[in-house]
Structure 1
Amino acid sequence: MQLQRNKVYTYHYSLSPQKQRKATGSRLIILKNPINKLQSPISWQSDLFTEQPILKPHPSEKAKNIARGISPFKVPGDSRTVLISQIDGNKFTFPSIGSPVMSVIRLKEAMRDRDWVIKARESLSRELSELINCSNGVEIEIPQGCFKYYLGKGNNMTLIKQCFNSRWWWTEDSAKSANVIWTQTISKGFFENLEGQVKPPKELDSNSLNKSVRCNVYYESDTLEEKQVDISPLNYDLITLSSSYIGFSDRRIIDPLSVHSHNKLEFNSAISDKKNLFFTMKKYYSALGENVFGYLPITFHIKNGENDPEFLSFSEKFFGDQEKKSVWIIKPGENTNRGNGIVICDSLLKIKEEIKSNPFPETGDHTYIIQKYIENPFLVNKRKFDIRLYTLITSTNGIAQAYFYQEGYIRTSSKDYNRKAIDNKFIHLTNDAVQKKADDYGKFENGNKMSYKDFQKYLDNKRIPKNFFYDILPNIKKIVLDTIKASFLDLDKRKRTHTFEIFGYDFLLDSDLRPWLLEINTNPCLELSSTILARIIPAMVENAFKIAVDPIFPEPLHSPKKAQASLFQDLVPENRFELIFHEAIDGKALLEDLKSRGTLENFVRPCND
């Protein structure tokens, strides 16, 4: 039998592994372990079963204090609580060895206690922040003041403001004095005023591996029994137990009040511009000996109209597909999103007319992307759809990391699919900005949105032997990871500050349920236009704050709390972001692989478009 003492000075006892199965009068307790739904489930015949003796409930601190005759006393001007003994403490003795064992309570039950929720949220946030800072090679000093944020206009900044205001240590201010600037587009002035390049940490800390976020706040039952709360449903292990997680021992000490951050990566155009995405991915797959058109539709980049050599190559391809009467989609190569400037054509003459001049002045001067239209899309109730999902990329202390959000949604069109009706955008383009103008918008699904589970139900009802979560989503995640590997050297190549960005990825499934990457958006819509979006987007943004904002800008100590109403004040938020890329692990492995292939030099060379 071993005596253990945890961080909050609560005594409990546990049996050694050798004695556990020899204990008499024992019972079998199943301990719930987190399971990554995108990976193979853990076998139940593992270490999930532990035998423990049936013993008396573990007494809480309150019960011990009552037995001691100790009452809490608040020190004026101090947030701490000390214990003042009223009688001889020798009248209370701790339980003898072999008596109490702390029992485990489900998270759902503990969440009914609002006091526990408030304390647990603070404890879990500190634990997670510490592990994330370790993975970025930084150590944050305890702030002696509050932080300031600046918000631009548009794209549901009300939601972002609510997330900041739910943290009492943040106040809104001007962009010049803000610690965090949150805007729809890159603030050029922000990067121009930054100091020199940061030197990334180098010394990996193997002791940081295989650590889970622990909840050091115990649940106290009505009988004054203290119970450990099983927090595995919160999925923090998607980050800390990821194969991409690693910490550093040479951590740089940072004063958070001196940090200036932006919700945009300085060179996000490496993947958010349609032309740059094509060149970035082409260079990456070429270095690996793969064909980029196995992941992106066949693409041509046109800079100089029909006299461009690339347009001549496209013309040859177009005439070669004439028997199939191929359809092509023309997009601005840069400076556009939300369906602006997109045209669908099946005539070479019309394509030439489109690229002669800029027919959409609101997109600004741009080049053109001519892309093969996927003519055999998988349909939902005879209508076309695409998949929108999110990825968070952070660049802190010169270290790039990427997190894949496990929940996205389906965006459906309002009209039945008809390949020949190429002029009807309500058939072919599923962007919200386009579909909300259709007469049938919202007729079939609330806000033309379906959840992943709704889509799986559709597959089941149609007797299609595919599981979205096991057969389709892992393939999508693989392509997302490829985009990170392809661009991590470029997104924040100056490595000057702490920046982060939420990207919106769009995928299309063909008739074989094979995913194709369409585009990556630097300013994904955060409007809550349906019940599904009202559930997914606020939780996703709050998760992003937990990873990208809270670790660098922690809650100050010994300050009066002035918390305003929060979207999550009665909840301990579940994490849905999975760490899929760490520069010191995955980036290093990629560069070593390309070096062995002899293609590293071409990969690190800037794209030549």
Structure 2
Amino acid sequence: MDEFIPDTFRMDIKDEREAFFSQQEGLCADRGDIWICKPTGLNQGRGIFLLQTPEDTAAFRARMQTLAGSHTNKKIPFSMSQALIAQRYIQNPLLLKGKKFDVRSYFLIACTSPYVVFFRHGYVRLTCDLYDPKSNNLTAHLTNQYMQKKNPLYSMLKEETVWSMERFNSYINEKFMVPKGLPRDWVLSVFTRRMQQIMTHCFLAVKSKLECKLGYFDLIGCDFLIDEDFKVWLLEMNCNPALHTNCEVLKEVVPSTVTETLDLAVEIYNKCRCGLKLLPLSSQKDFVLLHCGETAGVPLTKQRSRTAGPLRTACSKSRSSIKKL
């Protein structure tokens, strides 16, 4: 995973926490490494902060030691107080018109019994300001719309903070195809395949931990960053990202992701209940199938016979019968 995930340390795990701070002690003060700290269970950039100087790191270490002491004294639940990660900040991102960006794509686990997972294109998110890695303003580092709305330039640049994948592809063709020797439509070919490979790898890494029950599904937002060498990095994966999207400009870029997700999950659910062949799926639309197969070691054919029931019973099931992971 170190091929596509920046160095990351969990602060709620003692060994990883100590390894992170030991690593920082061995670095030169003028090296200029930046780390980004993110809490778990939050969205919209809440609780995120940067470690840009040795003083920042020292203060962070003192905070962690205080929290660890509070846990020892049983004043604060340890897992809740330190549930965050420290991730190496990619300081050489590819820029669009001088601005930092990332790509939000969708990973749908439409069913866990059997496993059926999909990829769907999303959109590109840009900052309002030109990129400056030394900036103390979080809006220069975090691309999500909630953070960009805090920038005084947002009202004027709102339409430029979100690009469609088609516009992104055209820009890369125009600006980088020849200078970087990229194949035409690199975004819609090489980059897309790499995102799909990474999503599949992550799924295979955790699928044994998923609760396998017919009707369970989840839509996950995956945030990818491309550096100036066109290396693709996975920054994080977020559950239910579309439900947190409230920016008007996104309506044309991702018009019906949630609706299409529900339609697809319901179709698969009903077919499984009826013992019908899963593929093809009439509601698949822009979703690309990544994996369709076994569930907890049970062959697909056996799983179908076990879950099959009377047609009248299966088809009477409504969307309330399916549940997010």
Is 1:337 the counterpart of 2:43? The answer is yes
Deviation track 1:254-274 (CA, whole Å, cap 9, x = no partner) reads xxxxxxxxxxxxxxxxxxxxx
State how far apart, in whole Å, the 1-side matches of 2:154 and 2:124 are.
14
Where does 1:34-183 land on structure 2 (aligned, <5 Å)? none
Tell me, yes or no, if the aligned pair for 1:355 and 1:368 is still in contact at 8 Å: no
State how far apart, in whole Å, the 2-side matches of 1:447 and 1:366 are.
36
SS at structure 1 position matched to 2:81: coil
- Pair 543,368 (structure 1): closer, same or farther in 2 beyond 3 Å: closer
Is 1:414 the counterpart of 2:110? The answer is no
Deviation track 1:378-405 (CA, whole Å, cap 9, x = no partner) reads 0111110111011110335x32211111
Is 1:310 the counterpart of 2:26? The answer is no
Displacement of 1:433 in angstroms is 1.6
- Aligned residues with identical type, % of pairs: 27
Is 1:351 the counterpart of 2:60? The answer is no
Tell me, yes or no, if the aligned pair for 1:528 and 1:537 is still in contact at 8 Å: no
SS at structure 2 position matched to 1:335: coil
- The answer for the alignment partner of 2:316 in structure 1 is none
TM-score of the superposed pair, with normalisation by structure 2: 0.73
State how far apart, in whole Å, the 2-side matches of 1:580 and 1:548 are.
15
Which of 89, 93, 96 is the matching residue for 1:373? 89
State how far apart, in whole Å, the 2-side matches of 1:340 and 1:469 are.
31
- The answer for the alignment partner of 1:435 in structure 2 is 148
- Pair 365,335 (structure 1): closer, same or farther in 2 beyond 3 Å: farther
SS at structure 1 position matched to 2:256: helix
State how far apart, in whole Å, the 2-side matches of 1:403 and 1:322 are.
45
SS at structure 2 position matched to 1:518: strand
Q: Which residue type is aligned with residue 391 of structure 1?
A: F
Displacement of 1:518 in angstroms is 0.8
State how far apart, in whole Å, the 2-side matches of 1:458 and 1:357 are.
44
Q: Which residue type is aligned with residue 476 of structure 1?
A: M
Q: Which residue type is aligned with residue 313 of structure 1?
A: A
Tell me, yes or no, if the aligned pair for 2:111 and 2:269 is still in contact at 8 Å: no
State how far apart, in whole Å, the 1-side matches of 2:144 and 2:58 are.
25
- The answer for the alignment partner of 2:70 in structure 1 is none
Is 1:328 the counterpart of 2:35? The answer is yes
- The answer for the alignment partner of 2:139 in structure 1 is 426
SS at structure 2 position matched to 1:296: coil
Which of 574, 582, 586 is the matching residue for 2:292? 582
Which of 360, 367, 383 is the matching residue for 2:99? 383
State how far apart, in whole Å, the 2-side matches of 1:512 and 1:443 are.
31
Which of 177, 190, 204 is the matching residue for 1:471? 190
- The answer for the alignment partner of 2:306 in structure 1 is none
Deviation track 1:339-370 (CA, whole Å, cap 9, x = no partner) reads 111111122332242354489x9x95333311
Displacement of 1:312 in angstroms is 3.7
State how far apart, in whole Å, the 2-side matches of 1:300 and 1:551 are.
37
State how far apart, in whole Å, the 1-side matches of 2:193 and 2:205 are.
18
State how far apart, in whole Å, the 2-side matches of 1:515 and 1:504 are.
16
- The answer for the alignment partner of 1:501 in structure 2 is 218
Is 1:529 the counterpart of 2:272? The answer is no
Give the number of the structure whose alpha-carbon radius of gyration is greater: 1
- Pair 400,436 (structure 1): closer, same or farther in 2 beyond 3 Å: same
State how far apart, in whole Å, the 1-side matches of 2:16 and 2:157 are.
42
- Pair 487,574 (structure 1): closer, same or farther in 2 beyond 3 Å: closer
Displacement of 1:453 in angstroms is 1.2
Q: Which residue type is aligned with residue 297 of structure 1?
A: P
- The answer for the alignment partner of 2:9 in structure 1 is 300
Displacement of 1:501 in angstroms is 0.9
Displacement of 1:542 in angstroms is 2.9
Displacement of 1:315 in angstroms is 3.3
State how far apart, in whole Å, the 1-side matches of 2:62 and 2:46 are.
17
Deviation track 1:49-75 (CA, whole Å, cap 9, x = no partner) reads xxxxxxxxxxxxxxxxxxxxxxxxxxx
Q: Which residue type is aligned with residue 36 of structure 2?
A: I
- Pair 587,414 (structure 1): closer, same or farther in 2 beyond 3 Å: farther
- The answer for the alignment partner of 1:485 in structure 2 is 204
Tell me, yes or no, if the aligned pair for 2:214 and 2:269 is still in contact at 8 Å: no
Q: Which residue type is aligned with residue 118 of structure 2?
A: Y
State how far apart, in whole Å, the 2-side matches of 1:393 and 1:331 are.
24
Deviation track 1:513-563 (CA, whole Å, cap 9, x = no partner) reads 2111111111214435244x2134333223222310144459xxxxxxxxx
Tell me, yes or no, if the aligned pair for 2:264 and 2:284 is still in contact at 8 Å: no
Tell me, yes or no, if the aligned pair for 1:345 and 1:351 is still in contact at 8 Å: yes
State how far apart, in whole Å, the 2-side matches of 1:352 and 1:365 are.
18
State how far apart, in whole Å, the 2-side matches of 1:588 and 1:505 are.
29
- Pair 355,513 (structure 1): closer, same or farther in 2 beyond 3 Å: same
Deviation track 1:438-493 (CA, whole Å, cap 9, x = no partner) reads 1112534516100111112222332434321112111111101111111111121x
- The answer for the alignment partner of 1:401 in structure 2 is 116
Displacement of 1:410 in angstroms is 0.3
SS at structure 1 position matched to 2:5: coil
State how far apart, in whole Å, the 1-side matches of 2:296 and 2:166 are.
31
